[in-house]
Structure 1
C-alpha cells in the first residue's frame, strides 16, 4: 500500500503579511517574485497591483522587475529603478523614485526630495492616462540604484 503524503494546508502556502498588510516575499529578480507579491496583496489591493503591473509592462516594453525589501520594483536595464509598489493598511503606495522631475509632479511628498508618491485607496478611480504618462517619463530618467 502506498504511503499517504500529508497535504499542505492552504494557510501554510500563504505568505506572511507584514504591518499594514504588506506581503513578505523573498527578494528576487524577474517577473515571478513580482507576480507572487501581487497575488499575495490582500483583498482589493491585488487587483490594483495587477492593473499597475499591466500598465507598466504595456508602457515600458522590456521593463526589468524585482522584489526587494518586500516591494516590487520596476526599472530599465542599466538605468536603475524608476518605480516601486508597497501595501499599507488603507492604500497602495506607488513610489516614483525621481518623481520630483515628473510633470505634473505626483501628489504626495517624501522625505527624499527626489521621490514622490501616488496613494491609491480602495474606492479611488486610477487616472490611467496620467499614471502611464508618469511611468513613461520616469522610465526615461536615470533610476535609483538599489
Structure 2
C-alpha cells in the first residue's frame, strides 16, 4: 500500500513538471557552492579592511587652479578691433568705459592713450568722461563735449570740437568749420604743454551736444 502511494505521488510530480514545460532543476555541484561562498567571504573581508565598497565609484573632480584660470582666460575675450585698429567698446558714461577703450588700444597707441587721458584730467580736474561711437569723449557735465580721440592705422586723431576757436588752432582742418584735428604718429614728438593748453581752452568753450 505504501509503495503504491509513493509511486502515485512521484507520477504526479513528473506530470506537473511536464505540463509546465520545464526540466527538473539540478542541484549545484558542491564545488561550485564552496567557490561562491569563498568569494563572498573575500569580498566581505576586503570591505572590512578598507571601509570602502569594492565597486569602483567614479566621481567628478573639482576643477583645479589651472583649469579655472584657463576658463577665465577663454571667457575674457579680447575686444574687437575695428577698421584702423580702433577698439569696439560698448557705449557708457564715466571713467570705466574710457579705461576699457585705452586698455584695448593696440601697440604704441595704448601708452599714448594713457598719457592723453592723464593730461586731460590734469588740465580739467572736473572732466566728465564717456565712450560713444567707439571713441572716448571728454567734456563738462551738462555742457557738452570738448575733446575726443580715435585710433587709425598710422596715427591717433585728436578732435577738438571747437578747435577753430583755440589759439593757436590745431593744425588739421575738418569738414565742419568749427572743428579741428591733431594727428599724433608713432615716434613723432608730441607737445604735451600745448596739448594741455588746448584742453584748458576747449573746456571753457560751449561743448558739443551728442
**What's the TM-score once normalised by structure 1's chain length?**
0.95
Equivalent residue runs for 1:73-84 within 5 Å: 73-84=137-148
Q: CA RMSD in A?
A: 1.5
Q: Higher helix fraction: Structure 1 or Structure 2? A: 2
Q: Does 1:55 align with 2:106?
A: no
Determine the C-alpha separation between the residues in 2 that align with 1:13 and 1:46. 18
Determine the C-alpha separation between the residues in 2 that align with 1:141 and 1:10. 45
Determine the C-alpha separation between the residues in 1 that align with 2:116 and 2:74. 27
**What's the TM-score once normalised by structure 2's chain length?**
0.67
- Alignment match, 2:168: 104
Using CA pairs below 8 Å that are at least 6 residues apart, which structure has the higher relative contact order?
A: 1
Unpaired segments ≥5 residues, structure 2: 1-59
- Alignment match, 2:206: 142
Determine the C-alpha separation between the residues in 2 that align with 1:3 and 1:114. 61
Higher alpha-carbon Rg: 2
Deviations 1:98-143 (A, max 9, x none): 0000000000001111110000000111101100000000000000
Q: Taking structure 1 as reference, are residues 3 and 50 closer, same or farther at Cα in structure 2, changes over 3 Å only?
A: same
Q: Taking structure 1 as reference, are residues 75 and 11 closer, same or farther at Cα in structure 2, changes over 3 Å only?
A: same
Determine the C-alpha separation between the residues in 1 that align with 2:75 and 2:105. 15
Q: Higher strand fraction: Structure 1 or Structure 2? A: 1
Determine the C-alpha separation between the residues in 2 that align with 1:11 and 1:104. 47
Determine the C-alpha separation between the residues in 2 that align with 1:31 and 1:91. 23
Q: Does 1:22 align with 2:86?
A: yes
